[in-house]
């Protein structure tokens, strides 16, 4: 087998630059004459802009431009992946805390900063809505101008309502022995990539070049071409590997503003967000989810009804899709005869919410799994058993409009139970919880890959996937190594330049190993075809007598390395072979989501926890995460994705949440007052395991896998806390304060279990 091929864990592609400091992220790029930008905001969640006075700001030495809405093309261009609702800069009103009213470009950051403070914005603060109840109040101010919207909901703050239903939910209630109904809350949290978003734009001949830490460079290219009225061939997007993204860097944010400033000044313009500004640029949708489930006394589910309200920001970004796609499998991986899911995407005066690892699934998963545990306790069935009784079997249809269960999910659940020691008694004071989660892979997709087998037998792979830490470069090099028989140190993966690398729809939904992986496999097969002709010519046999596979050509029973065939075949003129591959997942007309899932991400998480009765602090003794990955193309990268997702899940479970004041301003912007897990917050023992049945649609049977381990962390921890301390908490995060208050309530009531 070729060194570094599929199934091994070679060093990360791009790793050398990452440990030496040589890796260039957007913020590290230096270019001559570049201006630095600072945004101007007002300290309000909702305000009418009365005037913007830039005269003092222009007096600061080194200031070249103070861009306001009045300086932009009119009407001010709007953009957005689903609704073109977001203006380049605030128009007339500020609709969330942190929405920029102006932007200063100056020779230095100091000058831009000083001038930004001198931009005088006169504004009138208006009432803001920043909770579900507030946004739905009939007297609530409308977040968006109804003239910008269509349909019967345009005069409400509900952007869209998604309904998905099968079976007779209303009739099934009568047949249930027990009905359990409760509401659960999922907090507003942010991606907190350690690299804050960075943007540079520069005039480029008669077009424009834009550098961005974006996940979807080709989407940015299309958006900029539309806004600027340029052909795609004049819009070059350069996307250096992002320093973490997690969904928060999928879509266009300040690139249009920076591009228009570059064109206005004729100079390169850079904007690097502060960490505080990233909190106001991207976040996860918070949610309130009501779940009503009917059960037979043996624990089988008879029906389930889910009412999910997701709180979006002032502009939709991709969040209507997050709500629709995230809640569609909201019932979970269970066999349920009747189910109704009603999910609303609700606008508010808060920062734009967007994709975030799990894409809308963790919110509803938290509610449904926690509801299942409440039922299990009422029915006297344990958490493992009630899940196994309802879990869909491989091949079984569990969402009538979608693909059947595509994995042996029981195997993952049994493995997790075994690794947590489910059937042995927990030590005194400890509690255990187990939960499962699923998420849909991509429903449509289009990826192209190009492979150049160069004249010395080395390889260039061109893939438009953004490597944001998930390790796409490594995986693609491994696939090429496997197929062409070339060692990894002779393979280079090129990405991040829309003028050099062919189109890829997007880097999201854990799709790249599957979709781009298949495109790359296709490109390698195109090269195999050419090598087959070469080998036939060289050995004077018919092409039908040559077999090319996995790095070798087999001619007359003899295996010849493909590199040998290439070098002999190219001859004295040299040259190279080029293979172009495509992977396409077509839309499915009439499907509720426009297409079925390419695969399911399935995970089972089990934890053992202890609760400090004095402080309310939760101590995690053991955290087990088991994902069904089909095939681990790189087992170490699979492990780091699973453990990373699990620990990120502990963030929204235990500590992360935005805190608003009474006027809708965020009070805990930045790293001091918003905590994410550190090396001191880890479970004492983290155990990750995988199930590999090579039953995925990707290369060698792989499935996408980077989000699963986050999906059901919260319900597993909450169940363990309930078992350890006898308290049920339905609002995340389970902060020490919240747990302590529940413990106090329990002590006061002297009841064995209380709910808060």
Query: By the criterion CB under 8 A, which residues form the site for other proteins?
Result: 9, 11-12, 14-25, 27-28, 30, 110, 191-196, 241-246, 272, 274-275, 468-471, 636-637, 639-640, 643-648, 670-672, 676-680, 682, 686
Smallest gap from residue 471 Cβ to other proteins (A): 7
Helix (H) or strand (E) holding 305: strand 301-311
Q: Residue 481 or residue 676: which is nearer to other proteins going by CB?
A: 676
**Closest Cα partner for 214 from 102, 381, 354?**
354
- Is the Cα torsion angle 89, 92, 98, 101 positive or negative in sign? positive
Smallest gap from residue 625 Cβ to other proteins (A): 12
Please enumerate in sequence order all residues whose Cβ is within 8 A of that of 500, keeping only pairs 6 or more positions apart, or say none. 462, 494
Q: Residue 361 or residue 468: which is nearer to other proteins going by CB?
A: 468
Smallest gap from residue 720 Cβ to other proteins (A): 20
Point out which residues pair with 440 in neighbouring strands: 600
Q: Residue 532 or residue 623: which is nearer to other proteins going by CB?
A: 623
HSE-CB at 231 with a 13 A cutoff on CA atoms is 4
What angle do helix axes 361-379 and 713-725 make, rounded to 10 degrees?
Answer: 30
**Closest Cα partner for 388 from 414, 369, 420, 407?**
414
Smallest gap from residue 297 Cβ to other proteins (A): 42
- Is the Cα torsion angle 67, 247, 497, 234 positive or negative in sign? negative
Smallest gap from residue 199 Cβ to other proteins (A): 15
User: Can you read off the two tokens belonging to residue 552?
Assistant: 């070798």
Q: Residue 337 or residue 670: which is nearer to other proteins going by CB?
A: 670
Q: Residue 448 or residue 476: which is nearer to other proteins going by CB?
A: 476
Q: Residue 16 or residue 591: which is nearer to other proteins going by CB?
A: 16
Smallest gap from residue 243 Cβ to other proteins (A): 3
Smallest gap from residue 688 Cβ to other proteins (A): 9
Q: Residue 21 or residue 752: which is nearer to other proteins going by CB?
A: 21
Smallest gap from residue 195 Cβ to other proteins (A): 4
Q: Residue 134 or residue 704: which is nearer to other proteins going by CB?
A: 704
Helix, coil or strand: residue 554: strand
Residue 342 near residue 610, CB atoms below 8 Å: no
Q: Residue 147 or residue 679: which is nearer to other proteins going by CB?
A: 679
Q: Residue 25 or residue 166: which is nearer to other proteins going by CB?
A: 25
CA atoms of 275 and 112, how far apart (whole Å): 17
CA atoms of 672 and 660, how far apart (whole Å): 16
Please enumerate in sequence order all residues whose Cβ is within 8 A of that of 523, keeping only pairs 6 or more positions apart, or say none. 449, 450, 451, 579, 580, 581
Smallest gap from residue 518 Cβ to other proteins (A): 24
CA atoms of 17 and 491, how far apart (whole Å): 16
Smallest gap from residue 427 Cβ to other proteins (A): 21
CA atoms of 405 and 395, how far apart (whole Å): 5
Residue 308 near residue 344, CB atoms below 8 Å: yes
Burial of 469 (0-12, 13-18, 19+ CB in 10 A): buried
395 φ, ψ (degrees, to nearest 5)? 90, -10
């Amino acid at each position: 087998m070729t060194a570094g091929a599929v199934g091994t864990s070679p060093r990360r592609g791009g790793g050398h630059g990452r440990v030496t400091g040589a890796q260039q992220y957007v913020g590290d790029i230096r270019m001559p004459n570049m201006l630095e930008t600072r945004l101007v905001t007002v300290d309000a969640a909702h305000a009418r802009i009365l005037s913007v006075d830039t005269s003092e700001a222009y007096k600061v030495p080194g200031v070249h431009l103070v861009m306001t809405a009045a300086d932009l093309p009119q009407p001010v261009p709007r953009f957005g992946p689903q609704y073109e609702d977001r203006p380049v800069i605030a128009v007339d009103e500020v609709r969330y805390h942190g929405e920029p009213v102006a932007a200063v470009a100056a020779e230095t950051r100091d000058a831009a900063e000083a001038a930004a403070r001198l931009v005088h914005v006169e504004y009138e603060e208006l009432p803001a809505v920043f909770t579900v109840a507030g946004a739905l109040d009939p007297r609530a101010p409308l977040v968006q101008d109804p003239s910008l919207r269509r349909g019967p909901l345009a005069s409400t703050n509900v952007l869209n309502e998604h309904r998905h239903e099968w079976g007779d939910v209303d009739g099934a209630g009568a047949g249930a022995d027990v009905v359990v109904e409760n509401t659960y809350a999922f907090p507003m949290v942010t991606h907190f990539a350690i690299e804050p978003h960075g943007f540079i734009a520069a005039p480029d001949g008669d077009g424009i070049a834009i550098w961005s830490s974006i996940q979807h460079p080709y989407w940015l290219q299309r958006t900029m071409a539309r806004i600027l009225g340029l052909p795609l061939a004049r819009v070059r997007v350069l996307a250096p590997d992002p320093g973490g993204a997690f969904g928060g860097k999928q879509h266009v944010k300040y690139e249009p503003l920076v591009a228009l400033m570059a064109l206005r000044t004729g100079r390169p313009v850079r904007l690097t967000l502060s960490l505080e500004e990233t909190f106001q640029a991207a976040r996860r949708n918070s949610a309130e989810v009501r779940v009503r489930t009917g059960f037979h006394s043996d624990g089988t589910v008879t029906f389930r009804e889910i009412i999910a309200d997701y709180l979006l920001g002032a502009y939709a970004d991709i969040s209507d899709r997050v709500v629709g796609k995230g809640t569609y499998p909201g019932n979970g991986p269970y066999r349920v005869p009747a189910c109704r899911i009603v999910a609303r995407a609700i606008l508010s005066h808060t920062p734009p919410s967007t994709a975030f690892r799990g894409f809308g699934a963790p919110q509803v998963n938290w509610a449904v799994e926690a509801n299942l545990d409440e039922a299990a306790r009422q029915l006297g069935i344990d958490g493992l058993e009630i899940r196994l009784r309802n879990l869909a079997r491989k091949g079984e249809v569990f969402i009538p409009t979608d693909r059947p269960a595509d994995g042996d999910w029981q195997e993952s659940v049994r493995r997790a139970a075994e690794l947590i020691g489910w059937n042995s008694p927990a030590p005194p004071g400890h509690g255990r919880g187990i939960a499962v989660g699923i998420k849909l892979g991509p429903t449509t997709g289009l990826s192209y890959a190009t492979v150049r087998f160069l004249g010395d037998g080395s390889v260039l792979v061109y893939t438009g996937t953004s490597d944001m830490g998930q390790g796409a470069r490594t995986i693609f090099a491994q696939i090429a190594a496997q197929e062409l028989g070339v060692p990894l140190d002779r393979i280079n993966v090129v990405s991040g330049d829309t003028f050099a690398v062919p189109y890829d729809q997007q880097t999201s939904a854990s799709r790249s190993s599957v979709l781009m992986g298949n495109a790359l496999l296709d490109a390698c097969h195109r090269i195999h075809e050419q090598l087959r002709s070469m080998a036939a010519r060289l050995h004077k046999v018919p092409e039908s007598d040559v077999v090319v596979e996995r790095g070798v050509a087999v001619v007359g029973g003899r295996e010849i390395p493909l590199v040998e065939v290439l070098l002999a075949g190219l001859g004295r003129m040299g040259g190279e072979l080029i293979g172009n591959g495509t992977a396409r997942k077509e839309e499915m007309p009439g499907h509720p989501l426009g297409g079925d899932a390419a695969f399911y991400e399935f995970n089972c998480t089990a934890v053992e926890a202890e609760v400090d009765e004095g402080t309310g602090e939760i101590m995690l003794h053991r955290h087990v995460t088991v994902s069904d990955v089909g095939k681990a193309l790189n087992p170490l990268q699979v492990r780091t994705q699973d453990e990373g997702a699990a620990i990120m899940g502990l963030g929204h479970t235990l500590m992360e949440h935005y805190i608003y004041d009474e006027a809708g301003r965020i009070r805990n912007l930045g790293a001091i007052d918003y905590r994410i897990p550190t090396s001191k917050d880890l479970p004492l023992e983290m155990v990750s395991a995988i199930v590999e049945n090579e039953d995925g649609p990707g290369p060698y049977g792989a499935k996408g896998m980077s989000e699963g381990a986050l999906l059901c962390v919260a319900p597993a921890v909450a169940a363990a806390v309930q078992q350890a301390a006898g308290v049920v908490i339905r609002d995340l995060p389970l902060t020490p304060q919240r747990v302590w208050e529940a413990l106090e309530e329990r002590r006061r009531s002297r009841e064995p279990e209380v709910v808060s």
